[in-house]
Structure 1
Amino acid sequence: MKNMLGHPHARLATLVGLVLVIPLGVRALLGWSDPLGYLSDLAIGSLLLLLLLRSPWWLALPVLLAWGGLLVASAELVSAVGRLPTSADLAYLFDPQFMENSTGGALAHPWLPWALGLGLLACLLARGWRRSQPVQALPRKAWTLPLLVFVAHWSSERLAPSEADQWRQYNLPHQLLSAGVGDLQRQADRWLGRETASEPLPSAGLTQVDLNGPRLIEGPGSARNLLVITLEGIPGAYLRANRQALHSRFDDDLMPNLSRWAERGMNTPDYVLHTHQTIRGLYAMLCGDYDKLANGTPKGVELLTQNARNQACLPAQLRQAGFTTHYLQGAGLRFMAKDRIMPHIGFEAVHGLEWFRNDNYLEFPWGKDDRAFFEGALGYLDELRKQPQPWMLTLLTVGTHQPYSAPDDYLQRYDTAKQAAVAYLDDAIGAFLDALERQGVLDDTLVVITSDESHGIDGVRLASSWGFNLTLAPEQAQLPRLNPGTYGHVDLATSLLDYFALPIPAALAGRSLYRNYDSGREMISFTNGLLRYHDGLGTLSECDFQQRCRRYASSGFIADQARFLGRSDEPAAQQISALAAVLDQSLLQTPLNLRYQFGGPAPIALSEAIRDDWADNLIGAQYLEMPEGSRTRVRVTVRALGKANQAHIQLKAKEYEQDVPLGLPEEIKVTANEPMVLEFDFDNPSARKAFSFHLLGYGTGEVEVSDFSVITALPGEEESAEELPQDEHVAQSS
C-alpha cells in the first residue's frame, strides 16, 4: 500500500478515482444512467481534478467534503421523494438532526459515504507521502476538457432535449452552477436594460370558481358529515383505477386494498398536486388557492397575518354552516406552525401526537405508525358520532414519510423500505375503511381520500405532480367510477362546499369534482424543480430551473406519454414565470411580511433535555422571507408555569437551516417569577429566504410563550407595522 501511494502519480490516480470513477460508478449502480448525466459527472469531476490536483490539503479537503456531501444528499433525497434537492431544502440534507429523523438513523445507501470516505482517505495519504515532491502540472490544454464537456452537455440538452428526470441529466453541483449562471445572466440583463417585460398570462381560469357544469348529484348531497383522509406522499399511480385510466406503464400493485375500495368509489385519474411539502398541500386543498409555485414562505404561514381570507377556507365555512370541525394528525403539531394555522382556518379542535393514548406497533421517529394511527382515529370517530351536530374530520398520516418504517415481515416481502411502508399503510387504510363500513359511517358520511404531496416514482412521467382523489359517497350510484376532467388540490374546497350546496366564497378557486364539464381547464404545478402549466387547450408547458420551457401535446395534465412540440420562445417562458409570480402574491399584495404572531396562551410541555432542533422546537416559525433592504424586529416572552418549575430556553436563527449569528444569548433560565423577555432586531441587506427561528427548551413542567412577534418592514416603518389593529394583521391564538 505504501509503495502504491508513494508512486509519483499516486495523487493523480487517487483523485481521478474519487472525483471521476466513483460518481460515474454510483450513477450506474443507482440506475440513473443517461448520457447527459455521465457528461455532467465528467464535467464536474474533470474540473475538480484540475482545480485540486496541486492545491494544498487544507483547501482540497473542505471542497471534497462539500462535493461528497452533495452526492450523498442527492442520492438520499432521490431515493426518499424522487427529486433532486433545491436550494431551499438543500441545507436540510446537511443538518444531522433532520437527517437522523428523516432516515431513522440509517441512510438508504450507506455504502456511498464509505466509498467516498475511503477514496478521500486514499487521496490524503497520497498527498502525505508525496508532500516533499512537487506535483507535475497537467498540460494547459487539459483545461479544455471540462469546457468541452460542459459545452457538449449544454448543446445536447438544447438540440435534443431529454424528458429524463433532472437527477439523470445533472449532478447537483452542475445543476446549482447552471442555475447560478442563469440567475447572473438575468440579473445582468436587468442591469443593462436588455430584459423585455412580459405581461403574465391571464389568470382568471386558475383563480376563479367555475360552477358552469351540470351537477352529478341531484340537489345537495345526502351525507351529513365529512371525512377527509390525507395520506402522506402517496402518488396517484398507486391506485389501479388511475393507472388503467391513463394507460400507465407503471404496474406495481403496492396498494391493492385502497385499489379495491377505489372500485367502489369515484376516482379522478388526472388529479394534480401543485407543490411539495405537507403544509402547502393542506393549504391548497383546504383553502382553495395555489401555494407558492417556488420556494418561499408557505401561504399557510402568511395566512396568519390575515383574519379575512382564512374565513373562506373550508373548515371555517363548514363551521359557519353548523359543523363541528376537527383535525387529527399522527405527528406533533408545532413544526410548520400547524398548531396555529389549523385553528386559524376554522378547525375548532386540533390534535396531534399528544392526543393518542394507544401504543405504536413499531418505533417511528415522526410519530404514530399508520396502523396505530387509524386505530386511534376510529376512537375519535366514535366520540364524534355521539354528538348531535354534523362534523368534519381531517386526518393526516405520517407513516409513509421517510425513513419509511415498517414491520420486519413487510420489509422482508418488499425490495425497499418505501414499498414496505406503502404496503403497511395500504393494510391500515383498508382495515380502517372496512371498519367504517361495518359501523355504518359510510351511510351518512362523505369520505374523500387524497394525499398531501407525492413522493414520486422513479421513471414515471409527472409522478411528482400526480395525486389522487377518491370519493366514497352515500349516493355513489349517481357518481361515475371515473371522473374524466383535470382537477387538483385547488378544487377540493370548492367541490366539497358544492356537494353540501353551501355558498362558495369569491376568494376560492377551482371547479367542482361533483359537476360535469365539457371543456378543458388551465392547471399549474411546481414539483421536482419544474414549473408546469397546461393551457386547457391541449398544450402542456414544462419550465426548468433555468426558465427554459418545453411544450407537449397533451389533452390533460397527467399523461403517461406526451408528444414533444418544441421549445417555447423566451417571451412565452417569461409569461409562465410571471403567471406563477402573480399566483404567489394572491395573499400578500406587499412584498413585506408585516407582522407574524406565533405566540399564544397554550401550555407547552418541556423535555428533560434538548434532543435536537426539530423534535424540541417550541414554536413553528419556519420558512419566513425577509425582502432586501428591510428590517426585522423580534419580541419573545416565555415564562414557566408553576412556581416550582424552571426552564432553560435557547433561541436559534437559521437560514436554509444554517445558523445565523444574531448575538443571541446561548441559554436563559426562566421561572414563573422571572420570565424571559427578549427583543432584538436585525437588517436584511439582501433578501433572506427559508429563515427560521428555533425556540428550544428543557426543564420541568410547562412553559407559556405568550409573545413571539416577528415584524418585517422598511427601516423606520417598524413602529407603524406594530401599531396596526391586531384583528387585521395578527392571527388570534386558539
Structure 2
Amino acid sequence: MRFTCNWLRSPSSSLLVLAFLLLGLPLLSRFALSWSHPYGYLSDLAIGSLLLITLHQRSWLLSLPLLLAWGIFTLGTAELVNAVGRMPEPADLHYLSDAQFVSHSTQGAGLSQPSLALAIALLIALYLGLRSWQKLRHATPLSSTWLLLPLSLFAAHTVLQQLKPSEADQWLQFNLPHKLLAESTNSSQQYLADWLAGDKPGSPPDISALNQLDLSGTPLLTQAGSARNVLIITLEGVTGAYLKASRKAIGSSYTQDPMPRLSQWAERGMLTYDYVLHGHQTIRGLYAMLCGDYNKLDSGTPKGVELLNNAERSEQCLPAQLRERGLSTHFLQGAGLRFMAKDQIMPRMGFEQTLGRDWFKNKPYIEFPWGMDDKAYFEGALGYVQQLRKKRQPWMLTLLTVGTHQPYSAPQEYLDRHATAKLAAIAYLDDAIADFLNALEQQGVMKDTLVIVTSDESHGLENVRLASAWGFNLLLAPEQAQLPALKQGVYGHVDLTASVLDYFAFPIPATISGRSLLRDYANGREIMSYTNGLLRQHDGQGTLTECDFQSVCRRYASPGFITDTANYLGRFAGKPARLISQQAEQLDQSLNSSQGEQSYQFANHQPVKLNPSASDDWADNLVGAQYLTLAADTQTTVTLKIRALHMDNQGGKLQLKTKEYDRDVALVIPELPLLTRKKPIEVSFTFNNPEARKAFSFHLIGQGRGSVEILNFSVRSTPLKTEEKLLAAQENLDEIAPSDALTN
C-alpha cells in the first residue's frame, strides 16, 4: 500500500497517464476508427509528444485549458468526420467548442464516439487529480532539448509529404492541431518562397470560362418544353453516391445502396451523375442553383445575404425570372426560416410565398430539433402542390427537406434496421421522396410539370473520393422520351438556372453563368468547387487540380470531375497555385461594390411567437443576421426596434448576443429593457472593427408569453476615418493590456 501511494505521488505516475492520454489514446482511436495511415500516426506522435513535453510537471492552471482544447479537437474531429465526412476547418471550430451547438446537434442520436469521449474525460481528470496530489514544488519540467523530438517528427511528416504525397483524406494524414498549425504557418512560408523566387503579383487570371453563359451546345429538345410548372426538390445533404446509376456510371467502389427507391426513379428520368456541388452550407447551395452564380468559395458573407442589397442582380435569379413570365413562385422548407435570413433572402430571389415549419398543420411522426421529419414534410408538400393545381396560374415550387441533417431524423423501426442514425435517416428520406414522386405521378402532376430532384450540399462519405463535392441532378420532364437516361458531361449547381430557362426557351440574362443541361456540348468546360477544405478546378481538358490548405496543389488526369480514381500527375505550389486561388477570389467578388460600406436590414415585420423559456442560441434565435463579414477598419452601427403584439403582464425578456464562427464575442452591447405592450424596445449602438470579422452573427434571444414584431434590425458598416482608426487601435490596445500584464 505504501509503495502504491509513493508511486502515485511520484512524477512518473502522472507522466505515464499523460503519455497514454496524448500518445496512446490517439494511436489506438485512429486504429479503432479505421483511420490507419502512416502520416496520421506520425502527426499524432508529433503533436502528442509536443504537448507531453510542454505539460509535464506544469501547473494544472496551464494543463487544464490545453488538455480541454486538445480533447475537444480530438473528439470533435471524430464526430464531424462521422457526421459529414470531412475534417473541421477554422471556420467551423465552433462545432467543437460550443456546448449549445453540440447539445443541439447530438440530440436524439447522441455522440457517435461515446467511448472516446469518456476515455478523454477520465484520463484528463486522473492526470489533473494526480498533479494536484503531487507536490509541485519538487517538480522539474523536461529539458527543452526534448523539443527536438516533436520537431523532428514534424519535419519528417513534411518531408514525406513532399517526397511521396498521398491522396488520402485529410483526417487520415493529420490530426486537427497539426492541421491548424500547418495552416497558420503556411501563408508566411509561401510569401517567403515567392519573395525568394522573385514572384510578383501579376494581372488577374481570366475567369470568363467560369462565369459566362454558354448556350453553344446542341439542344436535346426540338422546341420549348411543354411543361407549365416547375418543381425543384432539394434533399438535405444527399450525395450522388447514393444513386445506383451514378455509382455505376463512374465505376464507384462504394458498394452500399442507401436509396434504392430513389435510384429506381433515377432510371426513369435524365440523371446527370458528374454533377458538382460548389460548397457546403444550405444557403450557399440554394444561391448557386437558383441564381446561376458561384456561391463564395470561402467562409465570407454568403452571396444570398449580399443579395438583400442588390435588387438588380436578384431580379435575374430563377424565381424572379419565372415570376416575370407569369408563374407564381413558392418556397417551402421543413425547418424554420429565420436562421440565415431565408425569410428575406428567398423573397428577394423572387419567391412570392416563402414558408417554413410554421406553415405545416399536419402532425410530425417524430420530434426532430431542426423541423419536420421527411415523411410528414412530403405529405404536407403534397397538399401544397394540390392547392397550387386548383388554380389556373402556372407555378414554380422549390422544396427543401431537413431530416438528413445531423443529428438525423428517423423512426425507431428504421434505426433498428440500420447500423447508424445517418443511414436510417437516409432510408427514411428514400421512402418519403419515393412515395411523394409516386403520388405526383398518380395525380398527373408530371404530365405538365418539369421536376428536378437534387441536393443543397453533400454530407460526404468516408473513404469515397470527392464525395463532399458529388451531387446529382435528376430531371423528369413530359418529353422524357427525347432525353437520355444518363446525361454526359460535367455540370453543377451553377447550371441549374440556365437549364430551366433554356427548357422553356425563355431569354436568359447575361449575368447568369453556366451551361444548360438540356444541351449536348462537344467540348469540356472549366468548373470549380470548394469542399472539405480543398479547392478544386477542372480545366475541361482532362485535368483536375486540387489545392489543399497549405496551398499545395496536385494535378490528376481525370476526364470528368467526379471519378472514383484518377492518375496522379504531380504537385506544385507558388505562383501557379496562387493563380488558382485568385480565380476563386474573383468568383467570390462581393455583390456589394460599396468599397467597405455595408447595409443590411433583417426585420421582416412578421409576428414572432416567443417561447416561455429560451436556452438555445440557434433554435430560439429571432433574427437571421448570420455569417456576415465586417471589413477591417470599419465601424458597425446596429439599430433595433421591437414591439409587442400580444404580451402578458410579465413582459418579454430579450438579449442580443454576437458571435464569430458561432463562438461568443465580447462586445459592449447595451442590455435590452423589458418589452411590454406599452413600451417597445428601441436601441442603437456602435462598435469598431480594427480587424476584419468573419462569420459574424447576431443572435436575438427572447422569452415570454406572447408574440413580437421586429420593426427594425439594421446593420450598417462604414469605413473609419483616420482619427477614428487611431482611437480604435488605442481602445484595442487598452483591452489587450490587462491580459498581457497577467502573463508578464
| Bucket of the pairwise TM-score, normalised by the shorter protein | over 0.9
1:300-339 → structure 2 map (5 Å cutoff)? 300-339=304-343
CA positional deviation for 1:112: 1.5
CA positional deviation for 1:52: 0.3
Cα pair distance change 1:137/1:56, threshold 3 Å? closer
Contact 1:200 1:576 in 2 (8 A): no
Match of 1:725 in 2: none
Runs of 4 or more above 6 Å deviation: 187-194
Match of 2:490 in 1: 486
Match of 2:52 in 1: 49
1:200-279 → structure 2 map (5 Å cutoff)? 200-279=204-283
The alignment status of 1:432 with 2:436, answered yes or no, reads yes
Aligned partner of 1:669 among 665, 671, 674: 674
Residue 245 of structure 1 aligns to which amino acid in structure 2? A
Aligned partner of 1:23 among 20, 23, 26: 26
Contact 1:593 1:625 in 2 (8 A): no
CA positional deviation for 1:274: 0.1
Match of 1:727 in 2: none
Instruction: Give the whole-Å Cα distance in 2 for the aligned partners of 1:427 and 1:415.
Output: 17
Match of 2:603 in 1: 599
Instruction: Give the whole-Å Cα distance in 1 for the aligned partners of 2:510 and 2:73.
Output: 45
CA positional deviation for 1:137: 4.3
Instruction: Give the whole-Å Cα distance in 2 for the aligned partners of 1:199 and 1:212.
Output: 28
Contact 2:670 2:685 in 1 (8 A): no
Instruction: Give the whole-Å Cα distance in 2 for the aligned partners of 1:590 and 1:25.
Output: 53
Contact 1:276 1:454 in 2 (8 A): yes
Contact 2:306 2:590 in 1 (8 A): no
Residue 693 of structure 1 aligns to which amino acid in structure 2? F
Match of 2:124 in 1: 120
Counting matched residue pairs gives 719
Contact 1:271 1:466 in 2 (8 A): yes
CA positional deviation for 1:191: 10
Residue 494 of structure 1 aligns to which amino acid in structure 2? A
Instruction: Give the whole-Å Cα distance in 2 for the aligned partners of 1:353 and 1:64.
Output: 41
Name stretches of at least 5 consecutive residues in structure 2 with no aligned partner: 725-744
Match of 1:91 in 2: 94
Match of 1:555 in 2: 559
CA positional deviation for 1:7: 4.1
1:289-438 → structure 2 map (5 Å cutoff)? 289-438=293-442
Contact 1:198 1:574 in 2 (8 A): no
CA positional deviation for 1:674: 1.4
CA positional deviation for 1:199: 3.6
Contact 2:303 2:590 in 1 (8 A): no
The alignment status of 1:104 with 2:107, answered yes or no, reads yes
Match of 1:731 in 2: none
Contact 2:592 2:598 in 1 (8 A): no
Instruction: Give the whole-Å Cα distance in 2 for the aligned partners of 1:191 and 1:126.
Output: 50
Q: If the length of structure 1 is used for normalisation, what is the TM-score?
A: 0.95
Match of 1:623 in 2: 627
CA positional deviation for 1:647: 2.1
1:285 is paired with a residue of what secondary structure?
helix
Post-superposition CA distance 1:215-251 (Å, at most 9, x none) = 1011111111110000000000100000011111112
CA-based RMSD: 1.9
Match of 2:291 in 1: 287
2:238 is paired with a residue of what secondary structure?
coil
Instruction: Give the whole-Å Cα distance in 1 for the aligned partners of 2:193 and 2:567.
Output: 33
CA positional deviation for 1:34: 0.8
1:162 is paired with a residue of what secondary structure?
coil
Q: Percent identity?
A: 57
Residue 336 of structure 1 aligns to which amino acid in structure 2? M
Q: State which drifts further: 624-633 or 252-261.
A: 624-633
Instruction: Give the whole-Å Cα distance in 2 for the aligned partners of 1:149 and 1:48.
Output: 13
Cα pair distance change 1:693/1:5, threshold 3 Å? same
Contact 2:668 2:687 in 1 (8 A): no
Residue 553 of structure 2 aligns to which amino acid in structure 1? C
Instruction: Give the whole-Å Cα distance in 2 for the aligned partners of 1:219 and 1:716.
Output: 59
Contact 1:650 1:668 in 2 (8 A): no
Contact 1:291 1:299 in 2 (8 A): yes
Instruction: Give the whole-Å Cα distance in 2 for the aligned partners of 1:494 and 1:138.
Output: 64
Name stretches of at least 5 consecutive residues in structure 1 with no aligned partner: 720-734
Instruction: Give the whole-Å Cα distance in 2 for the aligned partners of 1:306 and 1:405.
Output: 37
Match of 1:699 in 2: 704
Instruction: Give the whole-Å Cα distance in 1 for the aligned partners of 2:680 and 2:140.
Output: 65
CA positional deviation for 1:449: 0.2
1:634 is paired with a residue of what secondary structure?
strand
Residue 698 of structure 1 aligns to which amino acid in structure 2? Q
Q: State which drifts further: 204-213 or 129-138.
A: 129-138
Post-superposition CA distance 1:474-524 (Å, at most 9, x none) = 110000001111000000000000001111011110000001111000000
Post-superposition CA distance 1:679-723 (Å, at most 9, x none) = 111111111101111111112222111111111111259x9xxxx
Instruction: Give the whole-Å Cα distance in 2 for the aligned partners of 1:319 and 1:73.
Output: 44
Residue 625 of structure 2 aligns to which amino acid in structure 1? A
CA positional deviation for 1:95: 1.6
The alignment status of 1:462 with 2:466, answered yes or no, reads yes
CA positional deviation for 1:184: 3.4
CA positional deviation for 1:589: 3.4
1:637 is paired with a residue of what secondary structure?
strand
Instruction: Give the whole-Å Cα distance in 2 for the aligned partners of 1:172 and 1:160.
Output: 21
1:612-651 → structure 2 map (5 Å cutoff)? 612-642=616-646, 646-651=651-656
Q: State which drifts further: 277-286 or 695-704.
A: 695-704
1:559 is paired with a residue of what secondary structure?
coil
2:344 is paired with a residue of what secondary structure?
helix
Q: If the length of structure 2 is used for normalisation, what is the TM-score?
A: 0.94
Contact 1:343 1:350 in 2 (8 A): yes
CA positional deviation for 1:416: 1.1
2:458 is paired with a residue of what secondary structure?
coil
The alignment status of 1:5 with 2:8, answered yes or no, reads yes
Match of 2:40 in 1: 37
Match of 2:591 in 1: 587
CA positional deviation for 1:193: 11
